[in-house]
Amino acid sequence: MTAAVLPAEPERTDHDDRAVLLLRLAAPLQSWGAQGAFNVRDTRPEPTKSGVTGLLAAALGLRREAPLDELLALRMGVRADVPGTLLRDYHVVSDFRGKPLPQAGVSAKGAQKPTAPAKYTHVTSRYYLQDALFVVALEGASELLHRLVAAVRAPHFPLALGRRSCPPTQPLVLGVEEGGLESVLRGLPWQASQRAKTSYAYKLGRRRGLDGPFRPATVPCSVTLEHAGGDDVLQDVPLSFGPHDRAFLGRRVHHEWLRVPTGFPDPDAATEIDADDDMHDPFELLGR
């Protein structure tokens, strides 16, 4: 059976009043679950459309049962400026009254039976991305994007990066830009902290046998773009956030790498890529 996929976005024309909203999603912890169960709450390696839509809906003050058509029409792109590292949080769950935990299944009457033999604790795992930083780009009608900017800066409900325990750091809004999704993500300077940039420059210097830092003009960042012809499908488009009516569609995406400006005031290399710079190191952006 083939999963339902969100219809392709309409083609953009020169007369469209469209723009791109840029959000900076960074925090000590963030978690973007996709297929988690009670005992294992996973996280994807980057923000999901469901999580970002939920953040925007909270900013606007939408209730869980409210229609999401206006937000789902936004075309999304994600750039991983600092991928972060995976953290597993170990939990033990028990009943504070000292009663045995119920079974997962229910009886014919819909009541859960106690475990037999009695089980008083249950182990769960929750996964987070720590010290990660993403740039999320949302392409859509300019009027809607400016309304979202105002809402995110003065949100109706508290904002979180995937889970309520993961509040975002500031700045959250980077602004609204003219242009296409990919071109805006390509032109925005690297958003890593100054400490991470300095660490990266010294690491490149050591790789080149230098006594000091090497400050490149560009840095490679992985990007995921919504694309009608994408070769991957992510099942993360929420039809509703209603607690008893949750459903998701798939969307086609395209994965690639972009070289973006580092923002160093005195880069040591031109923007052209030499043989060494073209080699990708998956750990080079962690800032360690």
How many residues are present in the chain?
288
18-90+123-188+218-261: CATH topology = Alpha-Beta Plaits (3.30.70)
Whole-structure pTM value:
0.82
Pairing of strands 232-240, 173-177: unpaired
**Distance separating alpha carbons of residues 59 and 214, to the nearest angstrom:** 41
Residue 122: exposure state from Cβ atoms within 10 A (0-12, 13-18, ≥19) = middle
What are the residues facing 22 on neighbouring strands?
Answer: 137, 175
**Under 8 Å between Cβ of 174 and 135:** yes
Range 268-272 contact pairs with CB under 8 angstroms and sequence separation of 24 or more: 268/214, 268/215, 268/216, 269/214, 269/215, 269/216, 269/217, 270/217, 271/217, 271/218
Residue 41 has what pLDDT?
78
- CA–CA separation, 99 and 142 (whole Å): 56
Query: Contact at 8 Å (CB) between 83 and 200?
Result: no
- List helix spans (H) across the chain: 49-60, 69-72, 142-153, 181-187, 194-207
- 152 sits in the region (left: phi over 0; alpha: psi -120 to 50; else beta) called alpha
* Residue 72 dihedral angles phi and psi, to the nearest 5°: -70, -20
- Element of type H or E holding 113: strand 112-114
Report pLDDT for 6. 58
Residues 128 and 89: their CA atoms lie apart, in Å, by 8
Looking at residue 275, its pLDDT comes to 37
pLDDT at 111: 78
Contact call for residues 12 and 18 (beta carbons, < 8 A): yes
Q: Which residues of the chain have pLDDT under 50?
A: 1-2, 10-11, 13-15, 270-276, 278-279, 287-288
- Return the structure tokens found at 102: 């119920």
